[in-house]
Amino acid sequence: MLERLNQALDHLEACLDREIDMAEVARIATVSEHHFRRLFAALAGMPLPVYVRRRRMTVAGAEVLAGERTLLDVATRYGYGSGEAFARAFRSVHGIGPGEARLTGAVLTSQPQMSFRLVVEGSTTMRYRIVEKESFRVVGRKAMVPLVHEGVNAAAAAHVEGLEEQAIVRMKGLAGIEPEGILSAVVHLTDSREEGAEVDYWVGVAVGPGAAVEEFDALDVPAGAWAVFDSHGPYPSALQELWRDVFTQWFPSNPYTTRPGPELLRTQPVDIGAETDSQLWIPVERKPAA
């Protein structure tokens, strides 16, 4: 899997000076484009479009400083239809415009070409099962919160604490299908899994596909397969480590890719650092045969 990912990145690198067919890049990696984008973000710590822009501006920066082409020629070479658009992208990476960089010989920022390799740090097993589910709904309350990779997510905690006791009792009374009980659901609004990327964060319960509950928001979840992971450890670090390991270890080692849908978590919040049991549900589908 890592070899295929690196082949895909090599192909991407060769296309920096023209339009990149991300479907073709994903095909080389033998995964869907949706899964390639999410897997890249999890492994690299940045969204794929951000990496592409940084790499393009790295190689374009060298051409700007070399002075052999006009700035418009450089802009056109790297896919920008106008000097203004190129200047904005250039400044977002280097903190300085291309014209000023050429005049002053300014120090620029370099984004190295990425490659992935396997580093074995220990022997960790992951308990999981695959569950096929019909479509269902999550009903409850939602808020937009930033991703937090380590420690308490203050915005998510505030959302939970702001729920009325009556709403929690009502949700518990509605719960009746797996995954049972009060859940949190994370819906990624972009391909980014960077710290601070905004997501829709739901607190609610799973109900049948046609259930209408007026006092709650409703999230329709399509039918499909789910990889279900069991975890036990200190809260919230064990959960954050599980989420990371699913995307950096489990997916590269198993014949599944992600599919669109919310990531569900069932856990019992406890004091920070206390042990708790949790269950993480990730929507998946089998990878097509190579």
Of the two residues 272 and 73, the one the predictor is more confident about is 73
Position 9 pLDDT exceeds 80: yes
| pLDDT more than 70, % of the chain | 92
Residue 147's pLDDT is: 85
For residues 195 and 228, give the distance between their C-alpha atoms in angstroms, rounded to a whole number.
24
Residue 219's pLDDT is: 93
Domain boundaries, the chain: 2-104, 128-286
Position 45 pLDDT exceeds 90: no
Handedness of CA 193, 195, 201, 205 (dihedral sign): positive
pLDDT digits (tens, 9 = 90+) for 103-117: 875 667 878 788 876
Average model confidence (pLDDT) across the chain: 85
| pLDDT more than 90, % of the chain | 34
Tokens of 250: 């489990």
**164 with 250: CB under 8 angstroms?**
no
Residue 122's pLDDT is: 37
Question: Which string of DSSP letters, residue by residue, matches 134-197?
Answer: --EEEEEEEEEEE--SSS--HHHHHHHHTS-HHHHHHHHHH--SSSPSSEEEEEESSS--STT-
135-144, 172-181, 218-227: least confidently modelled range = 172-181
Q: Which fold has domain 128-286?
A: Multidrug-efflux Transporter 1 Regulator Bmrr; Chain A (3.20.80)
Residue 71's pLDDT is: 93
Instruction: Tell me the mean pLDDT in the region 22-50.
Output: 88
Residue 123's pLDDT is: 40
pLDDT range class, residue 240, cuts 50, 70, 90: confident
Residue 103's pLDDT is: 81
**277 with 232: CB under 8 angstroms?**
yes
Question: Which string of DSSP letters, residue by residue, matches 224-252?
Answer: EEEEEEEEEEETTHHHHHHHHHIIIIIHH
**200 with 186: CB under 8 angstroms?**
yes
Residue 38's pLDDT is: 85
Tokens of 16: 């920096």
pLDDT range class, residue 74, cuts 50, 70, 90: very high
Q: Which fold has domain 2-104?
A: Arc Repressor Mutant, subunit A (1.10.10)
Tokens of 273: 């650092």
**196 with 189: CB under 8 angstroms?**
no
Of the two residues 288 and 18, the one the predictor is more confident about is 18
Instruction: Tell me the mean pLDDT in the region 25-50.
Output: 87
Quick one: how far is CA 37 from the chain centroid?
A: 8
For residues 36 and 21, give the distance between their C-alpha atoms in angstroms, rounded to a whole number.
13
Position 85 pLDDT exceeds 70: yes
Of the two residues 133 and 252, the one the predictor is more confident about is 133
Instruction: Tell me the mean pLDDT in the region 78-83.
Output: 89
- C-alpha pair distances (Å), 184 with each of 129, 201, 281: 19, 7, 10
The one-character DSSP state at 95 is S
Bridge partners (DSSP) of residue 235 are none
The structure's pTM equals 0.61
For 127, the 3-state DSSP assignment is coil
Position 28 pLDDT exceeds 70: yes
Position 221 pLDDT exceeds 80: yes
Instruction: Tell me the mean pLDDT in the region 163-182.
Output: 89
Give the phi and the psi of residue 125 in degrees, each rounded to 5.
-100, 150
Residue 231's pLDDT is: 82
For residues 49 and 25, give the distance between their C-alpha atoms in angstroms, rounded to a whole number.
13
Residue 121's pLDDT is: 43
End-to-end alpha carbon distance in the chain: 12
